[in-house]
């Protein structure tokens, strides 16, 4: 099934014409409305009309997470606050969030690409959609919600947590579609088993999972334990949220909605464009957004592109499953975490040293985050109660900063291995990129 046959099955020539038409408008808009872009264009000796075809795209400047941070919160917006109707956010590289806003047009566009996403996964009117993505600043909850409503499905806005209750609803409401992170899907399967519920015997038949990396092995496990077909959904809040790319029934790469999001793959170190098929960093340019149009946004995600027409009939290029990150961003229980956020917290606490290690593991199918933190000699010789209090304080400060709970383990001075090059802060024992 295809939601928007015209745009999802266009010939590449027609698609490129449409992309070029839209790109010119988007470039002219950012040049006129966003001082950051005007400066960035001028630094490269460009004005708004400087590119003459789609092939000139690599001449335009990149945009990064740092640019969003430096212009926090709304400095890159192309419309005044009066035209914005929604704000979402995800973790930034330091204590500050990455903030994104939407006009009514952007919300409509998002609902549309989410309708396409769900349709590609096999969801139709008449389906009962159990949406266990978090509702709130995270884009997962409302993104899937609007998409499912647009196709006329019945949506259960479950949000995350209260796992036993989720299982009762899955069973009793006759849910046919499950939307959540892949790790939460496994957690649901595990708790269901403990409750004596066999999810394979429910009406569930489709799963759309994303917001974090997951391996082919995890897909097999989810499909076998829950008894559904599991589709990968990719997106990031800076671009729109979920709804950038999705796996169709062929489960052979994720179709990118190229009429709205123009993809490129670049060499992460040099920024040089790479040809189809070569793995590198995914760079996205929005073509139709109003509030936060982004030019050549560096996603930090590693993948490759395949422009071949798919057996499903879609001509939209497919990206491989994400195979890694160019930076040290970690995704734990669907939440993005940067080691620099942890460092920012540690630097504010007396008696704690900026030597730490992050250990991520999977326990009972859920991501488990433990942070080992070195304390100073002076604190180390202190009494036990003070150490316990320090551990509690750190735990709550970290929870505030990261938006997720982490266990804190205080360790002796000089016990964390020092590195001679780049510090290896993360020990990740999950097989997410598999």
Binding positions for ligand DLL, rule: CB under 6 A: 90, 133, 139-140, 210-213, 232-237, 241-242, 299, 301, 322, 331, 336
Residue 234 CB, shortest distance to ligand DLL, in Å, is: 4
Residue 175 CB, shortest distance to ligand DLL, in Å, is: 18
Name the residue nearer to ligand DLL (CB basis): 49 or 434: 434
Q: Are 361 and 372 in contact (CB under 8 A)?
A: no
Name the residue nearer to ligand DLL (CB basis): 197 or 236: 236
Q: What is the rounded CA–CA span in Å between residue 117 and residue 256?
A: 10
Q: What is the rounded CA–CA span in Å between residue 285 and residue 74?
A: 18
Residue 429 CB, shortest distance to ligand DLL, in Å, is: 18
Residue 128 CB, shortest distance to ligand DLL, in Å, is: 19
Residue 385 CB, shortest distance to ligand DLL, in Å, is: 39
Q: Are 19 and 322 in contact (CB under 8 A)?
A: no
Tokens representing 115 are 């309708």
* Tokens 């394979």, located at residue: 200
Tokens representing 336 are 């993005």
Name the residue nearer to ligand DLL (CB basis): 182 or 315: 182
Q: Are 102 and 85 in contact (CB under 8 A)?
A: yes
> Is residue 233 reached through a cis peptide bond, with omega within 30 degrees of 0 on the bond before it?
no
Q: Are strands 229-236 and 206-210 parallel, antiparallel or unpaired?
A: parallel
Residue 248 CB partners (closer than 8 Å, separation 6+): 120, 121, 231, 255, 310, 312, 314
Name the residue nearer to ligand DLL (CB basis): 139 or 176: 139
Closest CA to 19 of 234, 264, 254: 264
Closest CA to 226 of 180, 292, 293, 278: 180
Residue 42 CB, shortest distance to ligand DLL, in Å, is: 29
Residue 40 CB, shortest distance to ligand DLL, in Å, is: 22
Name the residue nearer to ligand DLL (CB basis): 241 or 390: 241
Residue 214 CB, shortest distance to ligand DLL, in Å, is: 6
Q: What is the rounded CA–CA span in Å between residue 117 and residue 105?
A: 18
Name the residue nearer to ligand DLL (CB basis): 112 or 232: 232
Name the residue nearer to ligand DLL (CB basis): 241 or 394: 241
Phi, psi of 92 (to 5 degrees): -95, -170
| Alpha-carbon distance values, 347 to 333, 338, 388 (Å) | 25, 15, 19
Measured from each CB, the residue nearest to ligand DLL is: 210
Name the residue nearer to ligand DLL (CB basis): 60 or 237: 237
Q: Are 146 and 114 in contact (CB under 8 A)?
A: yes
Name the residue nearer to ligand DLL (CB basis): 41 or 300: 300
Q: What is the rounded CA–CA span in Å between residue 145 and residue 127?
A: 13
Residue 330 CB, shortest distance to ligand DLL, in Å, is: 10
| Alpha-carbon distance values, 395 to 13, 94, 346, 400 (Å) | 55, 18, 11, 9
Q: What is the largest CA-CA distance in the chain?
A: 72
């Amino acid at each position: 099934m295809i939601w928007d046959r015209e745009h999802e099955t266009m010939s590449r020539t027609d698609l490129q014409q449409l992309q070029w038409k839209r790109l010119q408008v988007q470039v002219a808009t950012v040049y006129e409305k966003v001082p950051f872009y005007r400066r960035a264009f001028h630094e490269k000796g460009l004005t708004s009309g400087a590119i003459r075809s789609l092939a000139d795209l690599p001449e335009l400047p990149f945009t990064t997470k740092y640019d969003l941070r430096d212009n926090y919160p709304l400095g890159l917006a192309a419309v005044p606050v009066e035209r914005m109707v929604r704000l979402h956010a995800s973790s930034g590289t330091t204590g500050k969030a990455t903030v994104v806003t939407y006009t009514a047009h952007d919300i409509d566009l998002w609902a549309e690409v989410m309708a396409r996403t769900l349709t590609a996964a096999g969801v139709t009117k008449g389906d009962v959609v159990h949406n266990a993505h978090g509702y709130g600043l995270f884009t997962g909850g409302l993104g899937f919600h609007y998409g499912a409503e647009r196709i006329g499905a019945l949506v259960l806005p479950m949000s995350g947590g209260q796992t036993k209750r989720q299982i009762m609803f899955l069973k009793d409401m006759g849910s046919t579609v499950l939307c959540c992170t892949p790790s939460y899907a496994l957690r649901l399967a595990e708790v269901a088993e403990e409750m004596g519920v066999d999810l394979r015997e429910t009406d569930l038949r489709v799963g759309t999972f994303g917001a974090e990396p997951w391996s082919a092995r995890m897909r097999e496990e989810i499909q076998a334990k829950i008894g559904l077909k599991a589709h990968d959904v990719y997106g990031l809040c800076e671009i729109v949220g979920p709804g950038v790319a999705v796996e169709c029934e062929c489960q052979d790469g994720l179709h990118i909605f190229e009429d709205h999001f123009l993809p490129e793959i670049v060499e992460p170190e040099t920024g040089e464009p790479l040809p189809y098929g070569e793995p590198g960093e995914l760079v996205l340019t929005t073509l139709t957004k109003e509030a936060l149009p982004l030019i050549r946004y560096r996603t930090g995600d590693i993948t490759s592109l395949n422009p071949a027409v798919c057996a499903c009939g879609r001509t939209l290029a497919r990206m491989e499953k994400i195979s890694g990150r160019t930076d040290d961003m970690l995704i734990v229980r669907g939440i993005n975490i940067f080691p620099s956020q942890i460092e920012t917290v540690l630097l504010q606490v007396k008696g704690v040293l900026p030597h730490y290690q992050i250990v991520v593991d999977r326990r009972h199918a859920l991501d488990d985050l433990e942070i080992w933190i070195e304390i100073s000699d002076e604190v180390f010789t202190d009494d036990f109660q003070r150490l316990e209090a320090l551990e509690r304080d750190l735990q709550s400060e970290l929870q505030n900063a990261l938006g997720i709970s982490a266990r804190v383990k205080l360790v002796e001075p000089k016990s964390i291995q020092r590195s001679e090059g780049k510090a290896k802060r993360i020990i990740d024992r999950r097989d997410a990129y598999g």
